[in-house]
Amino acid sequence: DVEVPESHPRYESLLTRHRIEEGVEKGITSRQGLIAQGRGEAFDYLLGERTTGSADAAARAAAAHLLLADHPVLSVNGNVAALCPGELVELAEVVGADLEVNLFNRTDERMRAIVDHLRDHGAEAVRGLTADGRIPGIDHERAKVDAEGIGDADVVLVPLEDGDRAEALGAMGKVELVVDLNPMSRSAQVATVPIVDNVIRAIPNVTRHARDLADASEAELHAVVDGFDAETTLAAAERAIREGVDDEGDGENES
């Protein structure tokens, strides 16, 4: 077993990596998930392993969308289940969202392992096993969703979603909130709200904003949503990566 001393300069990063390893051992995370993790780590390193100002504004816009939604659903895959299960359960409670397991490489075993894992972290109902709905335009196995879950949702939070499915969900007319450390990834590019941040920081940050906005009026929530611009956000994230520019006070996307 890995023991990482808290004083280690890369403590957070090593802890995250260890959680993914454990996820693979428990049958929650796929081996492909290890590759996705490696890609994410590289982008996080370039971002300075921090939540930028533009990512924080995106998290706030995502929180407003979730609070305005008729039927919000949080999609859970093998990586996020391993990285932040308790944080996802908490966000679902705070905004009144469903949790749905939604896997790129779907196997019954892994579906069940993730449902059980979320229940161990306090989730009551977890969707995904019914799989009686389909995302149009996607091949059979990858198209499966619950008709009364993601199929019926008006707002979906999809952390680390595959580019194809992100595009297809958008084409279904859903408001799509994506967490992805790569601003050039197609998933981030097609999102209504791209949150370019590590899911480990982003999910609790969306929850914090949702709590802060809990008493806001609909008009105030709409103002947060309307004040957000996806292209500006992606450009700011790319600048932060390429030039190490701190986008904290760029004046855009502020509400």
Q: Which residues bind Mg ion (CB under 5 A)?
A: 163, 185, 187
Q: How far is the CB of 246 from Mg ion (least distance, A)?
A: 25
Stretch of 88-96, 118-126, 183-191, 233-241 lying at the interface with ligand ATP (CB under 6 A): 183-191
43 binds ligand ATP (CB under 6 A): yes
Among 89, 103, 199, 213, indicate the residue that binds ligand ATP (CB under 6 A): 199
Instruction: Give residues with Cβ within 8 angstroms of 195, minimum separation 6.
Output: 55, 58, 59, 62, 177, 178, 179, 180, 202, 206
Given candidates 40, 72, 78, 194, which one binds ligand ATP under the rule CB under 6 A? 40
Query: Choosing among ligand ATP, Mg ion, none, which partner's interface includes residue 20 (Cβ < 5 to 8 Å by kind)?
Result: none
d(CA 192, CA 88): 20
List the beta bridge partners of residue 101.
76
Closer by beta carbon to Mg ion, 163 or else 170 = 163
Shortest Å distance, C-beta 191 to Mg ion: 10
What is the SS3 assignment for 86-148?
HHHHHHHHHHCCEEEECCCCCCHHHHHHHHHHHHHCCCCCCECCCCCEECCCCCHHHHEECCC
Among 47, 61, 157, 160, binds ligand ATP (CB under 6 A): 160
Contact region with ligand ATP (CB under 6 A), list: 51-59, 65-73, 159-167, 247-255: 159-167
Cα 65 versus chain centre, distance:
14
Element (DSSP H or E) covering residue 242: helix 230-243
Among 29, 30, 37, 77, binds ligand ATP (CB under 6 A): 37
The secondary element (H helix, E strand) that includes residue 253 is none
Q: Cβ 148 to Mg ion, closest distance in Å?
A: 27
Q: Which does 43 bind (CB under 5 to 8 A by kind): ligand ATP, Mg ion, none?
A: ligand ATP
Burial of 87 (0-12, 13-18, 19+ CB in 10 A): buried
Q: Binder to ligand ATP among 27, 86, 133, 163 (CB under 6 A)?
A: 163
Which positions touch ligand ATP (CB under 6 A)? 35-37, 39-40, 43, 79, 83, 160, 162-163, 179-182, 185-187, 198-200
